[in-house]
Amino acid sequence: MKSKKLSETIIKTFKTNGFVLSEPDVLLDSDYIIERSGEKFRSSMLTFDREDGKTMCLRPDLTVASCISFLQKKTSSKIYYSGQAYRRSGGKGTNFINDQLGIEILGSKNKIQDDFKVINTILSSAKKIKRKKILIKVGDISLFKSLINSLDMPERWKLRLIRHFWKPSYFEELLKRLEKNTDIDAVTFDADKKRFYEMKKLDQDKVVAGRSISEILKRFDKKIKDPRSFVDGKKIVKIITSFLKINCKLSELDEKLLDFAKKNNLKKLNQDVNFIANFGRDVEYYTGIVFEVFSGKNEIARGGRYDDLLKSLGAKKNIPAVGAAINLKNI
């Protein structure tokens, strides 16, 4: 009963702030989700085969389900949801049912305004359910990307570090390799020049296993030109780890970042952003601001900006979005 009352209070705040109820489908096309979210998702989904052979799953997450519903033009762009999501989370005896309560702004045009709107709405709901001292932690994934892009290292290393930022343990492994200058490509690179010239004479639009000859040759060429080894691995790792250590009050942030930028001579980091750097690193789809709201030691809400998710779910163009969810279990 108590938790029902809490949800009602929170929902009331959502509504007052202009968010409209979205009720996404409970059953979704499993192949569609895997196509978009990857094999890793498969093991956590609860699926069954329909009579016509189609594999369906219970919605594993309400953000993804709401995005799908939005793309099917079933909802407006500023929504809230309140319901259950279903997934396995490893470990025996864990609950399959997750109560989720959250808000999203899909197709968010004014990023700064919408980021603020989402954080502010979540914060005022948190305050309504009177808790211990409330603390917000903020990060920004895009700042990490700017940092990496400003560093002097081979292109493939930049891409690798950015792609795997959301998987902290694998990221650590990458940093170790970078530090020792052991490239994953260290195996002697056979420049199969002969075949390269033969293939140049072929029809460049011919497709081999889904990739055109021109695509293959272009990447081959680029690969030869990208330097195999470089000296500064250690220095670069130091910069990255010192960046990830930044953790300070908003009011001190300018100074800290400036100090960081000065020390490492990273002029490209000239951004006016506030945050904790090593943050929001467990969700693949976040692209910009990420935040968590704490009450005492409990995380009671989290969210962030995910500008690429809707496109990967099938939207024809980029649809920027930002959202957050309340963690009812910790309230």
Partner 1 sequence: MKDLITIGLPSKGRLKDNAISFFNDRGLKILQSEKERNYFGTIENKPNIKIIFLHAKEIIQRLGDGTLDIGVSGLDLLKESDINLQGKINIQRKLDFGNANLVIAVPDDWIDVQTIADLEEVSFDIRSKRNARLRVATKYPNLTNNFLISKGVTQYKLIPSLGATETYPFIGSSEIITDITSTGKTLADNNLRLLKDGLILSSNACLLFAKKKATKLQPFLKSFG
Residue closer to partner 1 (CB basis): 208 or 258: 208
Q: Which is nearer to partner 1, 116 or 197 (CB)?
A: 197
Least distance to partner 1, CB of residue 202, Å: 9
Closer residue to partner 1 in complex, CB, 96/170: 170
User: Rounded to the nearest whole angstrom, what is the least distance from the CB of residue 305 to partner 1 in the complex?
Assistant: 19
Which C-beta is closer to partner 1: that of 36 or that of 137?
36
> Nearer to partner 1 by C-beta: 155 or 255?
155
Q: Taking the complex as a whole, how short is the minimal distance between the CB of residue 36 and partner 1, in angstroms? A: 8
Nearest distance from residue 31's CB to partner 1, in Å?
9
Interface with partner 1 (CB under 8 A): 34-35, 38-40, 43, 156, 159-160, 163-164, 167, 170, 174, 184-185, 187, 189-190, 192, 195-196, 199, 208-211, 213, 215-217, 219-220, 223, 284, 311-312, 314
Q: Is 300 in contact with 294 (CB distance < 8 Å)?
A: yes
In angstroms, what is the minimal distance from the CB of 163 to partner 1?
Answer: 7
Cβ proximity to partner 1, 141 vs 261, nearer residue: 141
d(CA 182, CA 176): 9
Shortest CB 206 distance to partner 1, Å: 9
Tokens at residue 114, please?
A: 């919408």
**Residue 182 Cβ, how far from partner 1 at the closest point, in Å?**
12
